[in-house]
Structure 1
Amino acid sequence: MILLIKQIDKMASNSFFARQILAGIPFVLFLVTGAVGWTQTATDTISREEKLSDPVYMSWVASEPVGRCVSCHVMGPTDAEIDSGRSGDLTSFSRRSEMMHWLQKDKHTIARRRVEPFAAEQSEDELLKLYERLDAQIEKAIEGYKRRGETIDRSQVGLESIPEEWIGQSNLLSRRICDKLWGSGSVTTEAGYAKFRDHCLTCHGGYHAGASGFDLADLDNAQLGIDCLYCHQQGENDQWVAPHQVPEKWRLKPPQEKADSGLRNLVDTSNQARLCMDCHVGNRSKNMFVSHEMYAAGHPPIPSIELQQFCAEMPQHWQTPRQLYESLADYPQRNDYFNINYPGLLDSANAGEVFWNTRKMLIGALVARQQMLDLYIQSESAQDWADYSLYDCAACHHELRSNSLRQQRGYVGAPGRPRQYEWPDALLTIAYLFSGKETLAESRGLESKLDQLFSEQPFGDPHRIAANATELHDHISTAIDAVEQKPVDARIALAVLRGLATTPKSKLVTYDAARQVVWAMQTIATELELDGKPLDPELHDRIRQLGNPETTGISSSLPSGRKQFIYPDRLETDLHLRAQYDPSRLVAQLKSLRTDLAQAAK
């Protein structure tokens, strides 16, 4: 950042735009007047001037197709208008605050911009481009507001500091990684940038083969990250767009009918999980895979993922089913909507009483395991097999000491051979058990067989592992179907919480596996509180403290929102915690909690 400030000082000597910023004469940043001109309400906590001063926000509202989404979802009714009943029944499905959460806080909105491989000497040029782009919008903004009979106080609008979301340390890291992988400076050529696009922008930018706007020549006008349609639309099929604007007809259509017209069915929790885990676990068929070579070049470790915690910290820009159920209290077809979208689940339960977040945690655990199995299946060919990143990093990258925890625990087969990641297994037993006792027994048999296959020879036989992984994958699909049909209530949630507290030390040896258990327990404790059946405050606080490094050596916090950066600060802290992790502290805390949780269930 010091480097960037020095560059801004240098720019002041030869740039009209920079001189205006440094002199305190701010820009009016505006392109689409309708997207920022609504009346301020209690739920719109960000002022119009702040929106106009946010280059990320302004870039998205001016882009297609996000601009079309904004025109309805931001200009739609406020929470207050919905609560008052003035806006009609079905508008309760979508609130202005949800779109604003995505536009202003979601890290995915700048996932590409944050990793564009800029060298330090490019910082000046990139900032100049930003200022010039915003300056070009001034006349459009002034003209737009004049037509509306409004004026803007220029003294309250503009860039007061360098926007770190636009260019920062993560861009420099990305450039160093690209230089190491493909040669110094190669990413500044069309061919070199194409490699960056194919290997990195599949996750960071939503790129897929043949997509436009992802070549080096497009960089100055490229979208900043993951847009609305990447998650909500299937491919290029946009037949859903027009009919979904007639909500009284659209809302009660079956999910498959909506999907046939191109809208991705994200009401289905397993579909939502697969979409997230394509990037957060990997999908080689879509070229979403961080190889060991990429890690060695400097790519930060991909952390384990507990679906509910990650969604909450995006931050979440949609209502949970429970919140939606409450929003639709006066909607006469509320039960029809839930029965259509969750067939079978609510035959014996009220949607307002289901523990949806705990349910998401269980389904997410099963899908995460499936996604790891997919990586083995997709890697079956000799060319793709045995990349070190397919195996547990901590199996090699851990403390070197005599009589270590791994030695005490013992090994499946020959010691020292690459083994599977342990973190997906941390929540599997409880998820398998919830799907049915028979499922648990059959799954454990297949899991044990897969462990043996990995230990029979170094890296395992790819064909035998792929065959076993396929069988287990299909079995987990059956388990997911079963879990999606079973409502989770307060009693079950508390039982799952107690079960997690009994997790044996042998499953908590790795930092990522232990953190999965902590995240899951915190998800349940939080939902018990939301349901009006909170744990004893002291007990809840102890569960919260499981994610406090001073208590267990584990941090359960995630870098939420655009203003928190993974690199370098979060990464250095995370690596330090991993290096120092000892499961004994967590095991002691869980042992203490078991008795008290048993008492709470009585």
Structure 2
Amino acid sequence: MLSRAVRGPLSGIATALAFAGALMAAGAAYAAGGQYLGVASCAGSTCHGRAEGNGAVVRQDEIATWQEPSSASGAHSRAYAVLSSLRGRQIAATLGIEATSSGECLQCHATPAPAAARGPRFQLSDGVGCEGCHGPAERWLATHYTVGGNHASNLAAGLVPLENPQVRARQCLDCHFAGSEPGQFVTHRVMAAGHPRLSFELDLFSALQQHHDVDADYVRRKGDLSSVRLWAVGQAEAVRREMAVFRDPARNSQGLYPEFFFFDCHSCHRAITDGPQRRLTFETNPGRPIRFGTPPFNDENIIMLSVAARTLAPAQAAKFDEATAAFHRSMGQGRAEVAAAAQRLEAAAGALSDALSQRGYGGNDAFRVVAAIADRTTAPRFTDYAGSAQAVMAIDTLLNAMVREGRITVGAAAGIRASVNRAYGAVESPESYNPAGFRSALGQAARSIEALQ
């Protein structure tokens, strides 16, 4: 079920699909080595622990934002606590584990620091703390506030360069899809026990978790991050990671069965009736050349990356779409064919990630992407809940980007919010999802945005 954020200019952005906000978590450390010093090491009133964001260089209230109990911005700090909630206890009991001590949970619900690398102020109960995203602080903690220090020296000391969209996406994907460490993969078994389905969209997640201001000083030191770039590169890195994990023999099956996590949940989890009058819930999808009745791969990010390629990297679009079609077709051929097709699709996504990361952004890029998401080429592919929810997240986060970047006014955006909210309403829950109704609502929202260009 999609919920709507109500924080400042982000009103209307979905916090996450069934994530309830509290399950958002970051990935493993970027730099090897160094101790994890804990959130308390960053929380001084002369550092990031002020009650108000009135610092001269940075806001200095970043800890307060990270701890915010009522919004998505505090989700990382709540990640450990939800393990002891009713839902967390039920999941753990079903799996036969103790959630607050099991690596199967802690790799993503706390900063993933090895026991030997935990400093005296490090606490698992902090959830996903500063170092969960920025890397172990022992080597860069002092350099990043020293007079005369600079961003380059911080990076040399091991600070994760999150201003690089590819690095940021890979860091987030370790937990928001799957990482290399044991426990960084929410399998179908874990979801069957009650864990929410995962969904990933880099620009949306970045907006919800942003604790800093992108002011002139930030741009001078780290560059200006385009929302369209974050969205597009995030989609490319998501597909790249999906294919890498999917073709891993250790993770793509559960005994005799395939790992169902990779497939579209709602292609199977639909009402089943037995009677003389059939009720088809399957729609033919032009992006999936598969036989009727075949469980489809969850291609929500693949659909969005196809849009990004067509609008932002057209020279590579045909190759990516060909690799996508071949991947879907391979599902009806065999394991060897699937692995080879997944490798080709991974390579195509990687090439797109590089191209999308390196190109310049501006002009009408966001408008073009929004139009393409709802056009006659893409809209027929919205036959399932997951892909449709990904599309409305893209429309909304790019609309907010247009406001932040001065492409449209706050008043104009507010005037078309009802159209966007109708698209949200069409994916309010999997049970009520209607493909034709969603496509109509999405098209209306896209046309409303296009009219502002």
Measured against the shorter chain, the TM-score band is 0.7 to 0.9
Match of residue 542, structure 1, among 408, 412, 416:
416
29, 50, 70: which one pairs with 2:43?
70
| CA displacement 1:204-245 (0-9 Å, x = unmatched) | 1233665577xxxx9xx74231121121115xx732222222
**Gapped regions of structure 1 (runs ≥ 5):** 1-62, 83-90, 117-170, 188-192, 329-333, 343-350, 556-576
Alignment of 1:6-21 (within 5 A): none
- How big is each residue's C-alpha offset from its partner over 1:440-493, in whole Å with a ceiling of 9 and x where there is no partner? 11111111111111122xxx50x4433332332233222122212223214222
- CA drift of 1:110 comes to 2.2
Whether the aligned pair in 2 keeps the contact of 1:518 and 1:547 (CA below 8 Å) is no
In the other structure, the counterpart of 2:365 is 492
Residue 260 of structure 1 and its aligned partner are, at CA, apart by 4.0
Task: Give the whole-Å Cα distance in 1 for the aligned partners of 2:90 and 2:401.
Answer: 43
* Structure 1 position 259, deviation (Å): 3.7
Instruction: Give the structure-2-normalised TM-score.
Output: 0.78
Partner of 1:438, secondary structure, is helix
Does 2:202 correspond to 1:307? yes
Q: Deviation per CA, 1:298-354, whole angstroms, max 9, x where unpaired?
A: 22332x22222223234x2123xxx222x56xxxxx65x3xxx45xxxxxxxx5xx7
Number of the residue aligned with 2:328: 451
Q: Which residue among 223, 227, 232 is the counterpart of 2:134?
A: 232
Correspondences of 1:72-221 after superposition (within 5 Å): 72-74=46-48, 79-80=53-54, 82=56, 91=57, 94-105=58-69, 106-116=74-84, 171-182=85-96, 187=98, 197-207=102-112, 210=115
Structure 1 residues 264-273 or 238-247, which shifts more?
A: 238-247
What letter is aligned with 1:96?
A: Q
Q: In structure 2, give the amino acid aligned to 1:279.
A: C
Give the secondary structure class of the aligned counterpart of 1:578: coil
Structure 2 CA distance for aligned equivalents of residues 539 and 240 of structure 1 = 41
Partner in structure 2 of residue 273 of structure 1:
169
Q: Calculate percent identity across the aligned residue pairs.
A: 20
After superposition, the Cα gap between the structure-2 partners of 1:175 and 1:476, relative to the gap in structure 1 and judged at 3 Å, is same
Report what 1:125 is aligned to: none
Query: RMSD in angstroms over aligned alpha carbons?
Result: 3.4
Any conservation in 1 of the 2:412–2:452 contact (CA below 8 Å)? no
Q: Which residue of 2 aligns with 1:414?
A: 291
- 1:396 — aligned with what? 268
1:127 aligns with: none
What's the secondary structure of 2:289's corresponding residue?
Answer: coil
Q: Name the structure 1 match of 2:194.
A: 298
For residue 242 of structure 1, what is the amino acid of its counterpart?
A
* Cα separation, partners in 2 of 1:399 and 1:536, compared to 1, 3 Å: farther
SS at match of 2:344: helix
Deviation at 1:288, TM superposition (A): 1.0
Which of 454, 457, 470 is equivalent to 2:343?
470
* Unaligned residue ranges in structure 2 (runs of 5+): 1-35
Contact 2:77/2:127 (CA < 8 Å) preserved in 1? yes
Pairing 1:413-452 to 2, within 5 Å after superposition: 413-452=290-329
Aligned partner letter, 1:109: S
- Contact 1:177–1:298 at 8 Å: present in 2 too? yes
> Hey, what's the Cα distance between the residues in 2 that align with 1:107 and 1:524?
22
Aligned residue for 2:160, secondary structure, equals coil
Letter in 1 for 2:340: A
Relative to 1, partners in 2 of residues 1:418 and 1:248: Cα closer, same or farther, differing over 3 Å? same
> In the alignment, what sits opposite 1:130?
none
How many Å apart are 1:99 and its aligned residue?
3.0
Distance 1:365 1:543, change over 3 A: farther
Aligned to 2:6: none
- Structure 2 distance, partners of 1:420, 1:383, is 14
Contact 2:416 2:449 (8 Å CA) reproduced: no
| TM-score (normalised: structure 1) | 0.60
In 2 relative to 1, CA 301–114 (structure 1 residues): closer, same or farther, beyond 3 Å?
Answer: same
User: Runs in 1 of length 4+ with deviation above 6 angstroms?
Assistant: none
Q: Please state whether the residue corresponding to 1:244 is helix, strand or coil.
A: coil
Structure-2 change in CA distance of 1:533 and 1:599 (3 Å)? same
Larger Cα-atom Rg? 1
Of structures 1 and 2, the one scoring higher in RCO (CA 8 A, sep 6+) is 2
Aligned pair 1:361/2:231, yes or no? yes
Looking at structure 1, the residues matched to 175 and 64 of structure 2 have their Cα atoms a distance apart, in angstroms, of 24
Question: Contact conserved, 2:374 with 2:446, CA < 8 A, in 1?
Answer: yes
Aligned partner of 2:394 in structure 1 is 520
Residues 180, 585 of structure 1: alpha-carbon distance in 2 compared, 3 angstrom cutoff: same
Assess, with a 3 A threshold, how the Cα gap between structure 1 residues 74 and 406 changes in structure 2: closer, same or farther.
same
For 1:262 and 1:538, the matched residues in 2 are separated by: 43
Q: Distance in 2 between matches of 1:554 and 1:233?
A: 36
Contact 2:306 2:320 in 1 (8 A): no
Deviations 1:358-385 (A, max 9, x none): 2211111111111211221334578657
